[in-house]
Amino acid sequence: MGNLYVALIHYPVTNRQGDIIASAVTNLDLHDIARTACTYGAKAFHVVTPLTDQTRLVETIVAHWTKGGGGRRNPKRREALSLIRIETSLAEVLAHIGAREGERPAVIATSARHRPNSMGFGPLREMIHRGSRPCLLLFGTAWGLSEALVATADYVLEPVNGPADYNHLSVRSAAAIVLDRLMGRR
Amino acid sequence: MGNLYVALIHYPVTNRQGDIIASAVTNLDLHDIARTACTYGAKAFHVVTPLTDQTRLVETIVAHWTKGGGGRRNPKRREALSLIRIETSLAEVLAHIGAREGERPAVIATSARHRPNSMGFGPLREMIHRGSRPCLLLFGTAWGLSEALVATADYVLEPVNGPADYNHLSVRSAAAIVLDRLMGRR
C-alpha cells in the first residue's frame, strides 16, 4: 500500500506578509494529521520545529497520549499519536527516513498555489503505489512552506481545488484530502 | 455545481460509552468546516446546538470573523465564516432550508460505521450533481450522531475508509474528505 511519510513544517514557513517565520505548534494539527496518517497507512508523521520550547510541547502532548492517561483511556488515539516523530529540520527527517529505508525519499511539497511544474494527483498516486521509492509529503503551517523550501523538493503537488474559487483550507483539512486522494480506496 | 448544505450536530450525539450527550463546540470545527464548505461550494454551514451558552459562544466567534477585527484582517476567513448559521435543532435547519429552497432537503447522515443500507459516494455524488433536490449532509461531533438521529435521515453515507484498518478521523478531517469526494473536481 505504498511507502509514504508525512511531515508538518513549522519552519521555514511564511506569514501573511510573506516573511519567513517559525510558527507555533497547534495541538489539533498533531491529533488530526496523526489520525489521518494512521487511516491512510503512512509510516510516520514527522513534526518539524527548530524551537526548543515547541519541541518540548510536542513531546509532552505525544507522551500524554502514547505513555500517559490519554492513551490508556483512548487506545485508538495512542495508535495514531505513536506515528509522531519530532525533528528540528527537514534535513533531520530525511536522515531518519534514509536510515530506515536505506535510501533518500522523494520529497513532495504541497502548496495552495498552482505552479507551471506542479505534479497531478494521478501521477503521484501511481508513483506511490509503484512503491519503488519512499515518498515524503511536506505540509506547511501558517501561510505555507517558504519558496526556498519548496525549491528543494523533488516535486510540487498541484493544489486541492473545489468547484468554487475559494482556496483556503486549513492544513488539517488539506492533509486529509491529499492523503485520501493519494491513498484512499478507489 | 449541486445544491449542498452541511450541518455539524452537537446534540444528539454519543459519548465514548454510547450515552446521548450535547457536546461542547470546538472553535476549530467552525473554522475548518466553514473553510471546507466554502471551498466546495456548500450554500450554508449549519452549527446545531440546543445549549444557550454554546449558541452565544458560536455567535461571538462568528461575529468576530464576519463583523469584527478578525474579518477585517482576514477577508478570506470572513467569507468562510459567513456561511455559518446557528440553529438549536435539526428540525430548525430543515425549516430554514425548506423556506429558502421551497422544498425539504434530502438528509444524508455520515457515520464511521458501515451499515447494510449505506449509500456509496458515487451514487450520492450523482444525486447531488443532478441537482434536482437540495441535499443536507449531517456530521456528528464527539463519538458520532445518535442512532435515533441517523434513523430519521433519508440516507446514510458509507464511511470513509483508507487502506488501513484504522477508522478514527476527526470530524474536521472527515468533513474535508467527504466534501472532496462528493464535490471535488474530477
What is the pLDDT confidence band of residue A164, given thresholds at 50, 70 and 90? confident
What pLDDT score does B1 carry?
66
Write out the H or E segment, with its range, that includes residue B140: strand B135-140
Taking only the tens place, the pLDDT of each residue in A26-46 is 999 999 999 999 999 999 999
CA gap B116, B105 in Å, rounded: 23
C-alpha cell at B33: 468546516
CA gap A122, A117 in Å, rounded: 15
Nearest CB among B35, B170, B176 relative to A168 is that of B35
End-to-end Cα separation, chain B, in angstroms: 13
Per-residue exposure over B117-146, b if at least 16 CB sit within 10 Å of its own CB, e if not: eebeeeebbebbeeeeebbbbbbbbbbbbb
Closest CA relative to residue A57, chosen from A78, A29, A35: A29
Cβ within 8 Å, pair B162-A180: yes
Q: Is B183 on the interface with A (CB under 8 A)?
A: yes
Name residues of chain B where pLDDT drops below 50: none
Of all residues in chain A, the percent with pLDDT exceeding 70 is 99
What is the complex's ipTM, to 2 decimals? 0.96
Total residue count of chain B as it appears in this document? 186
Q: Is B38 on the interface with A (CB under 8 A)?
A: yes
User: Is the pTM higher than 0.80?
Assistant: yes
Candidates A172, A178, A181: best to mutate against B (most CBs of B within 10 A) is A172
Burial class (CB in 10 A: 0-12, 13-18, 19+), A91: exposed
pLDDT above 90 for A116: no
What pLDDT score does B41 carry?
96
CA gap A141, A54 in Å, rounded: 14
CA gap B13, B49 in Å, rounded: 11
What pLDDT score does A1 carry?
66
Domain spans in chain A, listed from the N-terminal domain onward: 4-183
Contacts of A164 in chain B (CB under 8 A): 1, 38-41
Regarding the domain with residue range B4-183, which homologous superfamily does it belong to in the CATH classification?
A: SPOUT methyltransferase, trefoil knot domain (3.40.1280.10)
User: Which residue in chain B has the smallest CA separation from A143?
Assistant: B74
What pLDDT score does B48 carry?
98
Taking only the tens place, the pLDDT of each residue in A71-86 is 999 999 999 999 999 9
What pLDDT score does B131 carry?
81
Q: Is B78 on the interface with A (CB under 8 A)?
A: no
Q: B156: which strand partners?
A: B109
Task: State the amino acid at position A137 in one-letter form.
Answer: L
Give the mean model confidence (pLDDT) for residues A80-105.
Answer: 97
Cis status, amide bond into B159, omega within 30 of 0: no
C-alpha cell at B73: 484582517
C-alpha cell at A80: 495514531
CA gap A178, B41 in Å, rounded: 18
Question: C-alpha distances in angstroms, B73 versus B64, B66, B78?
Answer: 11, 11, 9
Q: Is B77 on the interface with A (CB under 8 A)?
A: yes
Write the Ramachandran bin of B2: left for phi over 0, alpha for psi from -120 to 50, otherwise beta: left
pLDDT above 90 for A119: yes
User: Which residue in chain B has the smallest CA separation from A121?
Assistant: B186
